[in-house]
């Protein structure tokens, strides 16, 4: 009742859990930060996830693992749902609003995927009501941080930029995988501190989370951005699919 818990949202593709171990490591880390004992068995949870996929005939979708505080013992709940992000959405891209609210980069919970998600949801709904798909935050120092449900990247002259973790953001699983991929492919990537002008001067922008993976941005506020098959983002997405899916590194 007090939001005393953490969760992970995991992508399911071809009835397989994607990046299960990485999600479990973050679930344990987040649990530790808020003082929840992490005595669960990864193998048992993996088996339960596979059983959930089987019972729901889930070829493509999402699982949510929630770990919350109980009066006598902690609760671990696994639920399943659809993944609404498809290729048609990727081809069109998403629009982003810039939130007037600031992300507190010093917050205890900013690096934890906690059940205290109401602020993000309220701000996201405000942006949806304005005709946007997502909203992004700058922190108290004026530097770019993250979205309500995503991490953000932008490109300039075929170099990729993303906010450093200490700007006040949850370091997403796909965010980390994209950075690893770019480094492996010798594509310049920088984690740093960027103001609004730097973001709006970008060639292309994309956001990431476990379900959308790599999603182009077609508009920030009233400023449009290029989305297309010949873009640099499409190249990165193709590399991502080849590296992590075709090579079975999931």
The per-residue pLDDT for range 153-174, each reduced to its tens digit, is 999 999 999 999 999 999 999 9
Residue 237's domain is classified under what CATH number?
3.20.10.10
Asked if residue 98 and residue 21 are part of one domain, the reply reads no
Average model confidence (pLDDT) for the chain?
95
Out of 69-73, 209-213, 226-230, give the one with best mean pLDDT. Answer: 209-213
The pLDDT of 178-191, averaged and rounded, is 97
Least confident of 6-10, 64-68, 82-86, 225-229: 225-229
Does residue 248 surpass a pLDDT of 80?
A: no
As a whole number of angstroms, the distance between CA 248 and CA 250 comes to 5
**Which of 147, 219, 176, 189 has its CA nearest to residue 19?**
176
pLDDT band at 230 (very low <50, low <70, confident <90, very high): confident
Domain that holds residue 203: 87-246
Angle at 149 between CA 112 and CA 208, to 5 degrees: 100
pTM attached to this predicted model? 0.95
Among residues 81, 108, 137, which one ends one of the domains?
81
Which run of H or E residues covers position 117?
A: none
Do 98 and 58 fall within a single domain?
Answer: no
Q: Which of 29, 55, 81 is the last residue of a domain?
A: 81
User: Based on the domain organization, do 48 and 154 belong to the same domain?
Assistant: no
Of 48, 63, 81, the residue that ends a domain is 81
Whether 32 and 94 map to the same domain: the answer is no
Q: What is the number of domains present in the chain?
A: 2
> Residue 138 belongs to what H/E stretch?
strand 134-139
Q: Are 103 and 202 members of one domain?
A: yes
Sign of CA dihedral 136, 138, 140, 145: positive
**242 with 146, same domain?**
yes
Question: How many residues are given for the chain?
Answer: 250
119 and 231 belong to one structural domain: yes
Q: Are residues 107 and 139 in the same domain?
A: yes
Q: With b meaning 16 or more CB within 10 Å and e meaning fewer, what string describes 120-131?
A: beebbebbeeee
The conformation of residue 183, written as its DSSP 8-state character, comes to H
CB 89 within 8 A of CB 51: no
21: enclosing H helix or E strand: helix 20-33
DSSP category for residue 165: G
The predicted pLDDT at position 176 comes to: 98
72: confidence class by pLDDT, cuts 50, 70, 90: confident
Handedness of CA 229, 204, 117, 168 (dihedral sign): positive
- Structure confidence at residue 119 as a pLDDT band (50, 70, 90): very high
Encoded tokens for 143: 């530097």
What is the average pLDDT across 135-155? 98
179 plus 226 within the same structural domain: yes
Q: Which DSSP string corresponds to 202-242? A: -SEEEEEETTTEEEEEEEETTEE----TTSHHHHHHHHHHI
Asked if residue 247 has pLDDT above 70, the reply is no
Average pLDDT on 90-102 reads 96
- Report the distance separating Cα 233 and Cα 229, nearest Å: 9
Dist. CA 65–CA 8, nearest whole Å: 5
pLDDT value of position 50 = 97
Contact 195, 143 (CB under 8 A): yes
Domain with residue 19: its CATH number is 3.30.470.10
Same domain, 26 and 118: no
The reply to whether 173 and 156 lie within a common domain is yes
Q: What percent of the chain has pLDDT over 90?
A: 89
In this structure, the answer to whether residues 144 and 233 fall within a common structural domain is yes
Residue 49 has pLDDT above 70, yes or no: yes
């Amino acid at each position: 009742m007090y939001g005393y818990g953490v969760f992970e949202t995991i992508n399911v593709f071809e009835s397989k859990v994607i990046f299960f171990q990485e999600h479990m490591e973050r679930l344990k880390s987040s649990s530790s930060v808020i003082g929840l004992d992490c005595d669960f068995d990864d193998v048992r949870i993996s088996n339960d996830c596979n059983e959930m996929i089987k019972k729901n005939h889930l070829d493509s979708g999402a699982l949510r693992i929630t770990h919350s505080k109980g009066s006598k013992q902690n609760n671990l709940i696994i639920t399943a749902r659809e993944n609404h992000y498809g290729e048609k959405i990727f081809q069109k891209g998403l629009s982003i609003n810039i939130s007037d609210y600031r992300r507190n980069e010093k917050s205890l919970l900013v690096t934890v995927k906690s059940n205290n998600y109401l602020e993000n949801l309220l701000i996201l709904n405000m942006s949806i009501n304005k005709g946007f798909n997502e909203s992004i935050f700058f922190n108290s120092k004026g530097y770019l941080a993250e979205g309500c449900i995503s991490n953000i990247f932008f490109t300039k002259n075929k170099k990729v930029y993303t906010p450093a973790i200490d700007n006040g953001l949850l370091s997403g699983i796909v965010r980390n995988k994209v950075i690893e991929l770019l480094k492996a492919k010798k594509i310049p990537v920088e984690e740093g501190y960027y103001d609004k002008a730097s973001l709006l001067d970008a060639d292309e922008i994309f956001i990431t989370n476990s379900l959308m993976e790599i999603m182009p941005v077609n508009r920030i506020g009233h400023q449009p951005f290029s989305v297309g098959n010949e873009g640099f983002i499409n190249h990165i997405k193709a590399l991502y699919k080849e590296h992590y899916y075709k090579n079975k590194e999931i």
